[in-house]
């Protein structure tokens, strides 16, 4: 249903304080560009060549234990290292700045079964993953020098995942990265100006409007944000004002597991494919300071646009000018609402 906003216009993102161009008429243009391959769910529960399957040797030489649930380990090829390094070489120009950084990168395997994804796991299997994310946030954040714990998942080869085994990553940094730093400032400014939480106010507006809400449970709202850049982008927001995973009750953790299951299943059913995406949780920094402005949420950025094989490219004007989208957020939300929550590929 493309009932609103069919004219060319731009929309404001109050979290990032930036604009996105919306051009609905471009969905009618012919496509003679790249066509990818449809991704079917994995067929084998244990792949002897997979670096993440239980009992297998990883590329770095370590051997995985015969794990039966969630398994976490330090990334063998980490982008950030925990050991302090010497100061970067000084530059004579203030335009050539560099500084040393520290961090800790971990891999979190969701399940020993190689064939699964969040969409094909049960709620009861996803809940231990939620608990593991929570424990990792607490443990890593308590190290004293970590300022941000970024939990995320790259799902599918189209999003650069190097391994199809069900897993995500945790990159923790001795600084607050750009995206959560910008969201911190936006939420802080809104709280100072209005006395309200930015996302509490925003979710109330979306729930009253209803056009962009995909589904809700008692504890989370899934919606295509007003400012969505990616075609079927979703913002998953806690109904209660809480800044971090550890603040959630047992019922809310169940609610998060339920929301992840329902959303990823709808994604797979949209084009009957193992739907690619980048997903990540944004929550309070671990700087030791109070962050009353922060409201827990997850961003889902899936690239598929027209089908299981045609994706959205962020090139040209998007890279040089500003983000642009073809289908309206209202139309995307309607299509996701119309999807079944029974997975198209039954689990044997």
Hey, which residues does 173 pair with through a beta bridge?
Answer: 103, 148
- The CA-based diameter of the chain, rounded to the nearest angstrom, is 64
What are the extents of the domains in the chain? 11-22+39-79+101-337
What is the rounded distance in angstroms from the CA atom of residue 266 to the CA atom of residue 293? 31
Is residue 296 exposed (0-12), middle (13-18) or buried (19+ Cβ within 10 Å)?
Answer: buried
Residue 160 pLDDT grade (very low, low, confident, very high; cuts 50, 70, 90): confident
Overall size of the chain counted in residues: 348
| Nearest-angstrom CA–CA distance, 98 and 185 | 23
- Note the pLDDT of residue 34: 57
* pLDDT on residue 32: 47
pLDDT band at 6, cuts 50/70/90? Answer: confident
Q: Check residues 182 and 25 and name the one with the higher pLDDT.
A: 182
> What mean pLDDT do residues 33-47 have?
74
Quote the pLDDT of residue 3. Answer: 44
Token pair recorded at residue 99: 């500084």
Distance CA 210, CA 283 (A): 25
Separation between Cα atoms, residue 241 and residue 250, nearest integer Å: 16
Phi/psi for 293 (5° steps) reads -75, -20
| Superfamily of segment(s) 11-22+39-79+101-337 | HIT-like (3.30.428.10)
Instruction: Say how far apart CA 301 and CA 317 lie, in whole Å.
Output: 19
Secondary structure letter of residue 74 according to DSSP: E
Residue-level pLDDT at 37: 59
Q: What is the pLDDT of residue 27?
A: 58
SS3 114: coil
| pLDDT score at 36 | 60
Q: What is the pLDDT of residues 198-244, one digit of tens each?
A: 999 999 999 999 999 999 999 999 999 999 999 999 999 999 999 99
Strand pairing report for 18-22 and 324-325: parallel
Is position 190 annotated as part of the catalytic site? Answer: no
Burial of 110 (C-beta count, 10 Å sphere; 0-12/13-18/19+): buried
What does the pLDDT read at residue 42? Answer: 77
Sheet containing 213-216: which strands, arranged edge to edge?
71-74, 103-109, 167-173, 148-155, 277-282, 297-301, 234-238, 220-223, 213-216
In angstroms and rounded to an integer, the radius of gyration of the C-alpha atoms of the chain is: 21
pLDDT of residue 346: 86
Given this model, what pLDDT does residue 28 score?
A: 60
By the 8 A CB rule, do 16 and 183 touch? yes
If you average pLDDT over residues 281-287, what whole number do you get? 97
DSSP 189-215: HHHHHHSS-HHHHHHHHHHHH-TTEEE
Torsion sign over Cα 15, 280, 235, 253: negative
> Which H/E stretch holds residue 329?
helix 329-337
Residue 86: band (very low, low, confident or very high) from pLDDT cuts 50, 70, 90: confident
What's the rounded mean pLDDT across residues 108-128? 98
Neighbour order of strands in the sheet with 324-325 = 9-13, 18-22, 324-325
Average of per-residue pLDDT values in the chain: 93
What φ, ψ does residue 247 adopt, rounded to 5°?
-80, -10
Single out the residue of 215, 304, 299, 301 nearest to residue 262, CA to CA. Answer: 215
Determine which one of 111, 114, 167, 343 is catalytic. Answer: 167
What's the whole-number mean pLDDT along residues 248-254?
98
The pTM assigned to this predicted structure is 0.94
Contacts for 185-190: CB closer than 8 Å, 24+ residues apart: 185/17, 186/14, 186/15, 186/16, 186/17, 187/15, 187/293, 187/294, 187/295, 188/293, 190/14, 190/293
């Amino acid at each position: 249903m493309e009932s609103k906003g069919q004219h060319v216009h731009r929309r404001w993102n109050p979290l990032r304080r930036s604009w996105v161009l919306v051009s609905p008429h471009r969905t009618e243009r012919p496509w003679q560009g790249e066509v990818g391959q449809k991704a079917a769910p994995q067929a084998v529960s244990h792949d002897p060549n997979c670096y993440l399957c239980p009992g297998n040797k990883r590329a770095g030489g370590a051997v995985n234990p015969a794990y039966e649930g969630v398994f976490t380990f330090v990334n063998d090829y980490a982008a950030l290292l925990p050991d302090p390094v010497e100061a970067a070489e000084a530059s004579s120009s203030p335009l050539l700045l560099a500084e040393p950084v520290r961090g800790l990168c971990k891999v979190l395997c969701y399940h020993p079964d190689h064939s699964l994804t969040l969409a094909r796991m049960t709620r009861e299997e996803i809940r231990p993953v939620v608990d593991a994310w929570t424990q990792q946030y607490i443990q890593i954040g308590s190290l004293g020098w970590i300022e941000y714990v970024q939990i995320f998942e790259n799902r599918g080869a189209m999003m650069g995942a190097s391994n199809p085994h069900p897993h995500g990553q945790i990159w923790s940094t001795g600084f607050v990265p750009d995206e959560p730093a910008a969201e911190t400032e936006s939420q802080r400014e809104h709280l100072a100006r209005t006395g309200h939480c930015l996302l509490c106010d925003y979710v109330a507006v979306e729930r009253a409007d209803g056009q962009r809400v995909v589904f809700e449970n008692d504890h989370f709202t899934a919606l295509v944000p007003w400012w969505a850049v990616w075609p079927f982008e979703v913002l998953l927001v806690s109904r209660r004002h809480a800044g971090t995973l550890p603040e959630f009750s047992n019922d809310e953790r169940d609610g998060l597991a339920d929301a992840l299951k329902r959303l990823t299943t709808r994604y797979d059913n949209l084009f009957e494919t193992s739907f690619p995406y980048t997903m990540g949780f944004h929550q309070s920094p671990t700087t030791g300071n109070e962050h009353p402005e922060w409201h827990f949420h997850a961003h889902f950025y899936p690239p598929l646009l027209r089908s299981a094989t045609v994706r959205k490219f962020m090139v040209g004007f998007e890279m040089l000018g500003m983000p642009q989208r073809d289908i309206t957020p209202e139309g995307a939300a309607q299509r996701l609402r119309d999807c079944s929550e029974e997975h198209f590929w039954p689990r044997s």
